[in-house]
Amino acid sequence: MAKTYEVNESTRRIARLMSWMARRGIGKTQILTTKGRKSGAPRDVPVSPIELDGVQYVVSPYGARSWVLNVRADPLVTLRHGSKPREAKLEEVTGPTSAPIVAAYHARESYARKFMDVPEDPSQDDFAARFERFPVFAVRAR
């Protein structure tokens, strides 16, 4: 059984650290800036894109969080690593075709792994059966 992801002081500290590192160009984390679906205000969240077959993807291992809902409302975003912002359009990858992407993300991201409700040693079929739990977006040039 996976742990339930909840926003608390510990997860906020981790997000602040990852954001700090991304703003300085350290590591693989980037800052994803979306437009708030209700407020229209910019919203920042640290993400760890993964690249497969020359395409970069952003995965939400915690389900349809706020940033996912914002992207679904307006897919035009900014990704920033260090001082290099780039505008992009995120296209949702739906259905079982997202399984290899989520499997690769699961294998790479040990922190997120404990919150993903899959067996101990999951196969791509495990991710295909649960594709709706892990929103995936392809990063496209704007």
Mapping DSSP onto H, E and C, the string for 50-113 reads: EEECCEEEEECCCCCCHHHHHHHHCCEEEEEECCEEEEEEEEEECHHHHHHHHHHHHHHCHHHH
Task: State CA 66 to chain mean position distance.
Answer: 11
**What is the sign of the dihedral through the CA atoms of 99, 93, 35 and 48?**
positive
Q: Write the CATH number of the domain with boundaries 9-141.
A: 2.30.110.10
Distance CA 75, CA 17 (A): 26
Query: What pLDDT digit, counting tens, does each position of 19-58 carry?
Result: 898 989 999 999 999 999 999 999 999 999 999 999 999 9
pLDDT greater than 60 at residue 3:
no
pLDDT greater than 80 at residue 16:
yes
Domain boundaries, the chain: 9-141
DSSP code, position 125 = H
